[in-house]
Structure 1
Amino acid sequence: MEDFELLDLSLYVEDGGRLAVPLGDSRAEAPLEVPEGAVVSVGLTFRLGRDIDAVVFEDTRDWDGAPIGTSRTVLGGFRCGGPYEVRLPPERLPVGRAHCGVYGVTGRFTDGEGRPLTEEHHRIRVAHPPPAH
């Protein structure tokens, strides 16, 4: 077994349910679409092949190739085994046509000493909803 195995990655959209995010580098696939202003949280499910004192999740986002931000969340220490399920705090996506478009997202897992465990690359389209009739 590997030191770290990501089993599931999901986006939970308030009033929209769960969106399964395909594992692996999905930059070549169609991006996941979420509405502007939506409240979303990331769900992570993983298993460990060794005890890790501090699992860290780092989320880096870019828009049109330009970095726009990075957040770092210490998930905590975990014993060998699992699966472990963690839900990150919810956040509101930007609002307004100027913020709509495709964002690149890189999720990186490291241990407390900064050693890489795994990395995921995805694209998300923040979309302006069609007018209500």
Structure 2
Amino acid sequence: MKDFELLDLSLHTEEHGRLEVPLPDAGGPGAPRAAQPVALPEGAVLSIGLVFRLGREIDGVTFEDTHLRDGRVIAARTTMLGGFRAGGPYEVRLPPERLPVGRAHCGVHEMTGRFTDAEGHELAVEHHRLRIVHQPAAHKRWAPAPAAPSAPL
């Protein structure tokens, strides 16, 4: 058994529920099961779900999530997952984040997830694509409600 094995990667949204992100096939190194990126509407709130198992005890497992658009880093975050005993599977859901809104943010985003241990040794790396799709009224969903006109006393 490997020291670290990612079993499942998924995106969770209120509007669309759980969306599976294909992992590379065991038969071909780095070959994705599906070439199409996962499509989500702009402004969607999503959280990343991770399921993994370990071949040995590992302290300080960290997940680094980087989003690139047109070769530029637009978002990056590091989440400490903690220490884990050998075995599993372990299931972790990362805190939710809102996708950007606006046509300038729509299109394909490259996403890289990197797992490291407390010493900074790389345990695994996953590369995936996400397509943010323009929603014509998306900006209106997040706008504050207009103030009601005051009534005469």
- 1:41 match: 47
- Alignment TM-score, normalising by the size of structure 2: 0.81
- 2:92 match: 86
Runs of 4 or more consecutive aligned structure 1 residues displaced over 4 Å after TM superposition: none
Matched, 1:15 2:19: no
Letter in 2 for 1:11: L
1:50-129 to 2 correspondence within 5 Å? 50-129=56-135
Gaps of 5+ in 2: 25-29, 138-153
- 2:4 match: 4
Between the two proteins, the alignment pairs up a number of residues equal to 131
- 2:147 match: none
Say which SS state the counterpart of residue 104 (structure 2) adopts: helix
The CA RMSD measured in Å over matched residues stands at 1.6
Say which SS state the counterpart of residue 77 (structure 1) adopts: strand
Q: Partners in 2 of 1:36 and 1:69 — Cα distance? A: 15
Structure holding more strand per residue: 1
Identity of matched residues, %: 66
Q: Deviations over 1:30-81 (max 9, x none)?
A: 1110000000000000000000111100011110112223211010000000
Q: Deviations over 1:84-108 (max 9, x none)?
A: 0000000111011111111000000
Name the larger-Rg structure. 2
Gaps of 5+ in 1: none
State the 1:129 CA deviation.
2.5
